[in-house]
Structure 1
């Protein structure tokens, strides 16, 4: 028994010694970088360089200011370099900065318009390969140069890339432009049945696009409209109405304002409280098509053009009269998006993808003609609007006051 234990100990001893030696040669944290050695990159802009085959890359970093104040403040460090590849950008920036750029904090990538038209897929190759970049990074296309967008002197003095990020995050509460993340773009890019869509961004001054602010010399960054891509190239842009139509059809409306008039002076605006879009691939007028089923709950925000004093019964009747107007407002936006898709012969709505999911056999028959074949697919709509309430008042302040039991109330009781 003792001999057996001694033999076992002799066998284990070399293994233990080997483990001890291995531990002695292990480094503490390979490749570890201290926090104060890093430059935290918030945004990256990519433009075509002056020289053929080069990129002009703008890197926007933020560093905490050294101050004794309680609130955290950030210094905006922005630098642009011309480089033959995006991977060498960090090396070039290191020549000018005393800190190492860290891409794990990138929130938004701005693509210049000229580069977008010539093709962005090669430029994005680096972003999908380098481990520091997250696939949740937002993509936007600049009207003009990405460099100029990231160098915008905002009236709020906020760092432009941080302002872009906050605006996109806020879009989740106000659905007016599409949200495109790097991962989503790459996913759609791999489909034969859909064209990617990326929102457009531009720097504006006071008075442009109907927006005014106190400092007339300062600028704001506006995200509106969207860009349609085919094989990585910007092929066309959608206006605001077409973009909103796409959002309805792709079930991306969470909340927003609807506005519609009846042509006779009555005008109503409503706040979309919630919505849901479904679809069916079915026979429409003797041909395989797609039917979009949209349901929206709204609250009335504003009624103009009527001075009628309404009691509860009359209001309920009037609300029913408003529903067709709101249905029409939604359908007009959807029809604008579909008409643009058919005109461009580009399927940014994803009609082909929806057919592929619901009717895979039929998709195999028509995919050879896609996306041009999108123009041959009939589209129908079933839209239902439910008015949940009229806000805090039933009648307008311009409605005549009435006394007595039959008089309506300006406020809901």
Structure 2
């Protein structure tokens, strides 16, 4: 009998509940967090789901999310202080988007990221973006269409944009921290802003065909260490993503052999950066291979002629090389921040030489040579041969 009791006692140890178990109705499910710097304090804005409004049975037509905001000496403190006006503890385990204010980014983002990288409740599969010309709190205070939860709208829009348009890039927290800490590479983040009226929090904002305020992704923000030092243009953002091999699919307008424009849909993209030391100086080769389809023709050309295809390919190569060279030169001279990872490429190819120049890389990077070579192949010309515009011209 005693032996049976002892066995039951041991088994009972494995039947205890989870030590960190919490009821769902005790948590404020937070899908987006904004962090701003207000004077000497952090201001944290949490976009929290309203459970009754995301259920078809209990919805009353009110906003599916609400905002809570608090200030603190640290991010963690501010987040906890939200409980002063929130009936539930903020739970960021399902976070989709982290928005950092531009003022905070200019001062430095590293300290504000420590809590987010350390908290065991947080997964790292959320995007980090920079609020441009406004606070993070203002970005989170806008209602959205199609996706009625703004955090999901922001997440899915960036995911779609980076897949089909080469000017944006979705960086996860782990990727951002890696870029902030790795030798020979600086970080970039995609910008986010509100167009139209700055405050679009009312229900009326999504009741019209064209909302008065809309969330939009902008160009890439350039960092030096953990501080924001400037913004790329859209053209330069496309150039950056091409150089670092972050293009999935996109389109680009090119000049026809004589006059007019055509559009090439890029369906396959591969960029390789190889570092080397040439005559004692660091140098990189950027070799890019592109495959694409003719997606649009606004000129009179014969697509059945192989020579025409070759000229289109050459025009595309020249345009892309111009964009990439211009992007590199601008970043070297204006920002002096190695966002391309050229230093990392030198390190991979020649660790001994990198060790010698590592401490002087801020001076070496703006003067180094980058050799860009683009090879373009047009695979298909679409379902049509020559454009019907030819027939209109001869009428």
- The normalised TM-score by structure 1 is 0.84
**Alpha-carbon displacement from aligned partner over 1:51-108 (angstroms, at most 9, x marks no partner):** x4211110001133244289x9972111111222221234322232222221110111
Q: Alignment partner of 1:281: what SS?
A: strand
Is the aligned partner of 1:185 residue 2:176? yes
Task: Give the structure 2 partner of residue 59 of structure 1.
Answer: 46
Task: Give the structure 2 partner of residue 362 of structure 1.
Answer: 353
Greater C-alpha radius of gyration = 1
Q: How does 1:47-126 map onto structure 2 within 5 Å?
A: 47-49=36-38, 52-64=39-51, 65=53, 66-68=55-57, 75-126=64-115
Task: Give the structure 1 partner of residue 21 of structure 2.
Answer: 32
Output the CA distance in 1 between the equivalents of 2:4 and 2:360: 66
Structure 1 pair 373–25 and aligned structure 2 pair: CA distance change class (3 A): closer
Q: Alignment partner of 1:23: what SS?
A: helix
Output the CA distance in 2 between the equivalents of 1:311 and 1:139: 43
Output the CA distance in 2 between the equivalents of 1:300 and 1:157: 33
Q: Alignment partner of 1:300: what SS?
A: strand
Output the CA distance in 2 between the equivalents of 1:165 and 1:93: 24
Indicate which of 274, 279, 283 corresponds to 1:280: 274
Task: Give the structure 2 partner of residue 196 of structure 1.
Answer: 187
Is the aligned partner of 1:265 residue 2:255? no
Asked if structure 1 preserves the Cα contact closer than 8 Å seen for 2:96 and 2:127, the reply is yes
Aligned residue-pair number: 379
Of the structure 1 ranges 112-121 and 32-41, higher mean CA displacement relative to structure 2 is found in 32-41
Unmatched tracts of structure 2, length 5 or more: 198-206
Output the CA distance in 1 between the equivalents of 2:4 and 2:145: 67
Output the CA distance in 2 between the equivalents of 1:219 and 1:401: 42
Task: Give the structure 1 partner of residue 326 of structure 2.
Answer: 336
Cα shift at 1:130: 0.8
Q: Alignment partner of 1:371: what SS?
A: helix
Indicate which of 372, 379, 386 corresponds to 2:370: 379
Structure 1 pair 60–401 and aligned structure 2 pair: CA distance change class (3 A): closer
- The normalised TM-score by structure 2 is 0.87
Structure 1 pair 15–348 and aligned structure 2 pair: CA distance change class (3 A): farther
Backbone CA RMSD of aligned residues = 3.0
Structure 1 pair 36–397 and aligned structure 2 pair: CA distance change class (3 A): same
Asked if structure 2 preserves the Cα contact closer than 8 Å seen for 1:299 and 1:391, the reply is yes
Asked if structure 1 preserves the Cα contact closer than 8 Å seen for 2:36 and 2:103, the reply is yes
Task: Give the structure 1 partner of residue 204 of structure 2.
Answer: none
Structure 1 pair 92–397 and aligned structure 2 pair: CA distance change class (3 A): same
Asked if structure 2 preserves the Cα contact closer than 8 Å seen for 1:108 and 1:164, the reply is yes
Asked if structure 2 preserves the Cα contact closer than 8 Å seen for 1:155 and 1:219, the reply is no
Output the CA distance in 1 between the equivalents of 2:265 and 2:299: 18
Asked if structure 1 preserves the Cα contact closer than 8 Å seen for 2:162 and 2:169, the reply is no
Unmatched tracts of structure 1, length 5 or more: 1-8, 207-212, 404-413
